[in-house]
Amino acid sequence: MIIWQADFYKHLSQENEDNTVWNLIVCDQNSSIIHQGSCQQSEANSNWLITELESLVKQYSPDLIKVFRPQCLSLFQLFGKTLGVKIEASRRTPQLKQILKEKFPSSLKLKQLPPQAVPENLWGDKWRFATFKAGDFFDYFRDRPIPIKDLSEELNPIDLGIASGINIPGVVIYGGRKSMYLARWLADNKPFSLNYIPTEVGKSGGLILESRLVDRWVLLTFEDSEMAQSAQKYEQQKESSQGLHFLLIQPDDSGMTETGIWLLKKEDI
């Protein structure tokens, strides 16, 4: 499967503020730059992208192009529709972001939306922190009859070189009768990572769900020093698991059934 990662972004010239240039960069999953180009603001549209990349698309026939920047997503979607290429909105473009970090660091700054509250009608009954051994994670959850499942092969702990005995931290939410509604809502919002944000160090805080390209949600909150310590440990465990963590939705704590499972990864870039 041929997968490309692409970005098309606005660059303001420091020498001439009126000279706005749009830069295009496309790379593959081996961090090889396939194409670079630029155009003036007046030319920055899907037609320019088509002209710039049509011959490459015909030559290599990519199966998928991942785009992480909201501002250019619609342009790539029009481009993809015209040339018959699937476009996926995804934050998970590590090779492209590493190239941008090294060559054009200022281009990585994206404006994030303020965290929104998860609709009250989706709140679960209770929740807890949990861990699962890296060596067992994929085999266990891949074979379970879970209705909603997002286990990307590119995040397989074994393939990432994570020792089988390392604990992958996660959060389990017991949704009760709302379990399926919550899982479907999460599936629609495409979770990316779930991070602890302290509001008062050692005493309270919340778990912020990063989703889609720039969306953020206040998934859980607490005012308890013991829970705050557990949340700090949860973040520390991510350092050992290369940022991998999970979100598991169950109807109850019987351990008999699961409603939804997501393997997530904290973004370092």
pLDDT in tens, the chain (269 residues): 999 999 999 987 665 666 789 999 999 999 999 999 999 999 999 999 999 999 999 999 999 999 999 999 999 999 999 999 999 999 999 999 999 999 887 788 888 889 999 998 998 889 999 999 999 999 999 999 999 999 999 999 999 999 999 999 999 999 999 999 999 999 999 999 999 999 877 788 999 999 999 999 999 999 999 999 999 999 999 999 999 999 999 999 998 899 999 999 988 76
Q: For residue 27, what is the domain's CATH number?
A: 3.30.420.10
pLDDT for the residue numbered 122: 93
For residues 101 and 120, state if they share a domain.
no
Question: From CA 3, how far away is CA 207, in angstroms rounded?
Answer: 32
Q: How many CA atoms lie within 13 A of 245 on its CB side?
A: 28
Question: From CA 186, how far away is CA 89, in angstroms rounded?
Answer: 16
For residues 235 and 158, state if they share a domain.
yes
Please, which residues have CB within 8 angstroms of residue 55's CB and are 6 or more apart in sequence? none
Q: Is the distance from CB of 240 to CB of 64 less than 8 angstroms?
A: no
Amino acid at 182: L
- Collapse the DSSP code of 144 into the 3-class scheme (helix H, G, I; strand E, B; otherwise coil) and give the result: coil
Question: From CA 164, how far away is CA 41, in angstroms rounded?
Answer: 50
For residues 59 and 93, state if they share a domain.
yes
pLDDT for the residue numbered 19: 77
Domain that holds residue 55: 3-108
The model's pTM is 0.92
Instruction: Pull the structure tokens for residue 24.
Output: 């295009």
Instruction: Pull the structure tokens for residue 242.
Output: 């290369």
